[in-house]
Amino acid sequence: MPIYNKLVRDKIPEIIRSTGKNANCITLEYESYVSELKKKLREEVEEYNKAAGDAEAVEELADILEVVDALAQIHKILPEDLEKVRAKKAEERGGFTDRTFLIEVME
């Protein structure tokens, strides 16, 4: 029997049970939940980096957004308010569309 010991999406236990298997799960305490969300973000970014093609990359980006939404809730900010922060930073500092790679800054 595989042991996962990781945060999963809310419906995963139900999906496992629908296959006739049992899922042993617990509800995490707040601090553990935050820690596991951070691990999950790293996991999803790693999966994105390993994606073999656009379709798989898009799936992983969607997973990253799901984790970011959960982290936004932890920080008591709505996704639309987080988007406002992102847009403000983009307005002030730009985005990444120009592909600018800083080599060094000289005095």
Note the residue count of the chain.
Answer: 107
7-22 pLDDT, tens per residue? Answer: 999 999 999 999 999 9
Average pLDDT over residues 58-62: 98
Does 30 score more than 80 pLDDT?
yes
The three-state DSSP-derived secondary structure of 39-90 is HHHHHHHHHHHCCCCHHHHHHHHHHHHHHHHHHHHHCCCCHHHHHHHHHHHH
What is the mean predicted confidence (pLDDT) over 56-67? 98
pLDDT at 89 (0 to 100): 97
Are residues 63 and 45 in contact, defined by beta-carbon separation less than 8 angstroms? no
